[in-house]
Amino acid sequence: MNYHIRYYGDPVLRTKSKRVESIDEDFGFFAEQLVEMMYEYDGVGLAAPQVGVSKRVFAVDDGTGSGWKVVINPEIIRRSQETETNEEGCLSVPEIYESVQRPKKITVRYQNLKGEIVEESLEGYPAVVFQHETDHLNGILFIDHLSVTKRRLLHRALTDIQRRAVPRMDPDFEEPHRLDAEPNPKAKETF
Ligand SMILES: [Zn+2]
């Protein structure tokens, strides 16, 4: 199956994804494609719903030097009271970069590709990416964390993405295609 990036306006991005019940060969093959697409699109993270698959899994390479990781059935089991604000972007919401406030430190639990349960404490950039991707599995986008005023200011840009994205929901669509064909002049990281 050919996967392609789903954009703001696609209902799959607003759907709560289903738990992964079996980490079998087919799933491993899908996970591999997710990792490949993350690199193809220069993302630091890519969640399954962003390629139209409503499953609780995401790929990540947060640039800490440990390479890529596939995170399955993630849970955030602890969040610090202390928050931090970082600029975020999203492959599914191209060309929009905004500051998002989130808990600074989190403790997470997930399954890896071997089905093992992993528990980690994250802070800084890896914590931001993990929260952003886990949000995707719950139908939440980073723009949902912005103030009403900010969202109102983005309304036109979002409507524009939606308008351009709709033809890409055509089931006959085959080629993976970037919504923003031009290289991003801001060259920021997106996930
Ligand atoms: Zn995203």
Residue range 88-147, pLDDT digits in tens: 999 999 989 999 999 999 999 999 999 999 999 999 999 999 999 999 999 999 999 999
- Burial grade of 131 (CB within 10 A; 0-12, 13-18, 19 or more): buried
pLDDT confidence band for 176 (50 / 70 / 90): very low
Contact 188, 89 (CB under 8 A): yes
Contact 125, 105 (CB under 8 A): no
Q: Chain-wide mean pLDDT for the chain?
A: 89
Residues near ligand 1 ion, CB 5 Å cutoff? 90, 191
Token pair 């920021």 is at which residue?
188
Token pair 């997106």 is at which residue?
190
Average pLDDT over residues 19-45: 95
Question: What does the block give as tokens for 99?
Answer: 């500051």
Average pLDDT over residues 9-36: 96
Token pair 């949000």 is at which residue?
135
For residues 46-81, one letter each, b for 16 or more C-beta atoms within 10 angstroms of the residue's C-beta and e for the rest, the string is bbbbbbebebbbbbbbbeeeeebbbbbbbebeebee
Token pair 């801001």 is at which residue?
186
Average pLDDT over residues 141-163: 94
- Enzyme catalytic residues: 133
pTM value? 0.89
pLDDT computed for residue 15 by the predictor: 97
Q: Is the pLDDT of residue 185 over 80?
A: no
Which of 100-104, 132-136, 162-166, 177-181 is least confident? 177-181
pLDDT computed for residue 113 by the predictor: 96
Average pLDDT over residues 39-47: 93
Q: How far is the CA of 67 from the centre of ligand 1 (A)?
A: 19
Q: How far is the CA of 59 from the centre of ligand 1 (A)?
A: 11
Which domains, and CATH codes, for the chain? 11-169 (3.90.45.10)
Q: Is the pLDDT of residue 51 over 90?
A: yes
